[in-house]
Amino acid sequence: MNEDHTHHRSILIDSYRDFIDFANKRLTLSKYIIKDNKDIFYKIERMMLVIMIISIVVLCTLHMMPRWLAITLAILFAQRVFEFIVVYSRNFIFHRGRIFTDFSDPQRQGEWLIMTFSLNILQVVLVFSIWYRLIGLMNPGAFFGDMSILNSVYFSVITFITVGYGDIIPISSLAKVLVMLQTTLTFYTLVIVVNGLISVHYKK
């Protein structure tokens, strides 16, 4: 009995794969900062730590910046969220965690998986904190509640983990859009990234 091995192409899947591959090669910051694959994981770790420090500095000094500079930096930080989606989509949707097989030691592989995932989550939370604080500074009525430095981080964390105590509420359209984006990113993180991390760990 002959089996039909014909592979039917999907417009959506193939288009998304092509976009992710293009974005990974052209639009990810690590491709421009890290020129070779020697010790690439440790270079990425140091790069992310530096970016997180910059994010904290920006968050704490937004109120002292000219409006144009604050908006420019906030737009530039969108690349970090975009790269998070691109990198994890490429590795866990289309390549099934292939990048992590460079670790022959399962213990080191597991440690690095957890560490980079944690740094990425912290980075995303900080970026949304910057956006929430900037919106609050530009439009004090955008949120019900004061969007101070601490409150912006607090609101970003509880939005990301979908708790929503209701003490801070988005009111403006832009604030609501950002909240929807962050909660959607939480769904992506749980379904794609966490599932991918578990799959890679147990496959090893």
- The string over 63-82, giving b where at least 16 C-beta atoms fall within 10 Å of a residue's C-beta and e elsewhere, is eeeeeeebeebbeebeebbe
At residue 164 the predicted structure's pLDDT band, cuts being 50, 70 and 90, is confident
Asked whether residue 11 is assigned to any structural domain, the reply reads no
How far is Cα of residue 93 from the mean position of the Cα atoms in its chain?
16
98: domain range?
16-23+36-203
- Per-residue model confidence (pLDDT) at position 1: 46
At residue 190 the predicted structure's pLDDT band, cuts being 50, 70 and 90, is confident
| CA proximity to 120, closest of 149, 93, 81, 151 | 81
Backbone angles phi, psi at 85, to 5 degrees: -65, -45
Contact between 40 and 116 (Cβ < 8 Å): no
At residue 14 the predicted structure's pLDDT band, cuts being 50, 70 and 90, is confident
User: Domain count of the chain?
Assistant: 1
Residue 81 has pLDDT above 50, yes or no: yes
Tokens 């974005």, located at residue: 23
Asked whether residue 8 is assigned to any structural domain, the reply reads no
Tokens representing 85? 């989606």
Asked whether residue 109 is assigned to any structural domain, the reply reads yes
**pLDDT tens track for 113-152:** 778 888 889 999 999 999 999 999 999 999 998 899 999 9
CATH number of the domain residue 81 falls in:
1.10.287.70
Please tell me the distance from the alpha carbon of residue 29 to that of residue 140, in angstroms, as a whole number.
33
